[in-house]
Structure formats: structure tokens, C-alpha cells
Amino acid sequence: VSLITGDVTTLMIFMQKKVTITQLFWLLVPSFLAVMVLTGLLSIGMTGKVKIRKTTYATNTIDYVIAGIFLTTIISTLILNVLYAIPPMLTFLAGMAIMFLVANHMGEDDDQDPIMDYIRYIEFDTLLFFLGVLLLVGMLEHIEALHSLLYLYQVFPPLIANYVMGATSALIDNVPLTAALLKANIGMSVSEWMLLTYAVGVGGSLLIIGSAAGIVTMSKVKGLSFARYGKYFLLLLIAYSVGYVLVYGVATYIMPGVA
């Protein structure tokens, strides 16, 4: 959530000029500490040792080149926007174009091993499940049912409303939820937009269906179901709440230039 390259909702809020890239960097420490809290809670009661199976993969020069282009694109996106206000999408597209050109030039995209052929590895059942969730949420947005959630900001202060919105994003996809909030143009300070950025970016992980990463993990890890993931809801909620409080403290009392 601290980088526009890491979460769609973070990018959406940034593109609406509610926060800047340098301000988003302040989310790094609270987010990291929240992860450490969750790690500590999950480790309680564990015994024995963790065995990691070593797996070797055959790599060649093109793999390192593509990885270098990817990292360069991410870093360039942040630096060019901060220094020269170049739109992130422009840098993303330029990096992708360079990647395909290099892959084609170095023979990775030949007839025997076309780079676009990797689409066959996509888990289409996972994509269809996620598409179903998006269609349902899109229907709610079309009938303006999501706009009823905005009444929270008329009843509660943004500090509480943002927290609830983050938890709600575990049930309702955070992208249309964030879009509805941005469209409503709710008047909030920079620190409050920082809280919302953290909340909608992290809150979706409270349930396994609340994030794309969770859905993909459910399809990859045997035995990981909605019910089994739900057993850790309380621990996830504690870590989410700790991070939210830390973001509030950083954004309100430490981060310079907030209003």
C-alpha cells in the first residue's frame, strides 16, 4: 500500500492527487510493523522446525535481463514522478514496450518459445471466480447500492469511517469501493486519505476472497479454504488495527506538511 506499483487502490487515490508518492512512503513502517505483529501472533503455539524444500530452476541471460528491466521500471516510475511529475502509466508502458523488444531481440519470443505463450499457465478458474465477484460488485455499484456506504461519513468521523471501509473491502472489492469514495469527493485531510489508503489496501486481506492474492493462494495451496482462512480472522483484524493506529500516529504527528 505504500507504493503506487503495489496496489490498485493506492494508485487510484494517488491519481486523484489526494496523496503524493513521498507521503505514501510514510506507510512503509506502519505496514511492516503490522506484518511483524501478525507474524508474532501466528507463531504462538508453533513447535518444531520449518523445512524448506530447495528447488532449482534453469535460468539464462534473458531471465536476468527481464528482471532488471522490471526493477528499473518500478524504480523509474517513482523517481520520474517525484522529480519530473511524469505520469506513472507512461513509465509503465515504456518499460513494458522495452521488455517485449528486448525479449524479441534476444530470441525469447521466437516460434519455439513465444513470450505470450506463457498465458497457458494462468489459472482460469481463479480468474473466473474473481470475475464473478467483480460482476456482483459492479451490479451493486450500478444500482448505486455502494453509495449507501458513503453515509458512514455523515454519521461518523473519517477516522472511524475509514476503518470500517477497510474492513468492508474484505467483502466488497476495494476498487469499486474506492472509486465510489473518490467520486463522492469527500472532504478529508491528507492524513485521513493516508488512513483510507492503508485501510482499503490491507483490509481486503481479512477474508481470503477480499483480495486477488488471496484467491490465487486459495487455488495454489492445497487445503486452504475460506473456512480455514477464516479461523485467523481475529489475528488478522488485530494486525490490521495495529497498523491503522500506527498510520494514524505517523500521518498525524510525524509526517511533515499534513493538513
pLDDT digits (tens, 9 = 90+) for 194-228: 999 999 999 988 988 887 778 778 877 888 888 89
Angle between helices 174-184 and 158-168 (to 10 degrees): 150
pLDDT score of 165: 93
What digits encode the pLDDT tens for the residues 4-57?
Answer: 778 888 888 988 889 988 899 999 999 999 999 999 999 887 777 777 788 777
When comparing pLDDT for 79 and 138, which is higher? 79
The pLDDT value recorded for residue 15 is 84
Q: pTM of the prediction?
A: 0.78
φ, ψ of residue 234 in degrees (nearest 5): -60, -45
Which of helix, strand or coil describes residue 216?
helix
Whether the per-residue pLDDT at 102 is higher than 60: the answer is yes
Going by the DSSP 8-state scheme, the letter that residue 56 receives in this structure is -
Euclidean distance between CA atoms 200 and 194, whole angstroms: 10
Q: What is the CA radius of gyration of the chain?
A: 20
Give the pLDDT confidence score for residue 58 in this predicted structure.
Answer: 76
CA angle 105, 110, 111 (to 5 degrees): 165
Rounded CA gap, 175 and 212, in Å?
11
Cα distance between residue 235 and residue 243, in whole Å: 12
Q: Letter for the amino acid at 93?
A: L
Cell of residue 68, nine digits: 532488471
For residues 132 and 173, is the Cβ–Cβ distance under 8 A?
Answer: no
